[in-house]
Amino acid sequence: MSHLTTHILDATAGVPATGVAVTLVGPDGAALASGQTDADGRLALGPDALEPGDYTLTFATGPYFVAQGVEAFYPSVTVAFTVADRPHYHVPLLLSPFAYSTYRGS
């Protein structure tokens, strides 16, 4: 299992958000990995282990909503988080056209 996973749920439609581009950026500001969510809204990113530090995940939510034919307020969502010494980090995103929330998953 990758050290970092994410899952996006389109809370308005009640379905996984498929095909959302996600980019992982490391403490030095360099992009470490990128990909798109699968049919279940899931994506594993990055190396087998992340060094301790502050990271960001940027979700390209604008193109997702355009493809759904839905007007949205946020063209992207960036979540900053700190890696310490956990064996796995899961950063889910609950998404709607005009709001989002996230939490440290398990």
What does pTM read for this prediction? 0.94
Single-letter code of the amino acid located at 31: A
pLDDT tens, residue by residue, 22-77: 999 999 999 999 999 999 999 999 888 899 999 999 999 999 999 999 999 999 99
The tokens for 82 are 């700190």
CA distances from residue 2 to 14, 48, 90, 97 in whole angstroms, order as listed: 26, 5, 10, 29
Residue 100 CA to residue 40 CA, distance in Å, equals 18
Q: What is the CATH number of the domain that holds 56?
A: 2.60.40.180
pLDDT tens, residue by residue, 66-106: 999 999 999 999 999 999 987 789 999 999 999 999 999 98
Instruction: Print the domain residue range for 50.
Output: 4-102
Domain count, the chain: 1
CA 95, 45, 105: angle at the middle one, nearest 5? Answer: 50
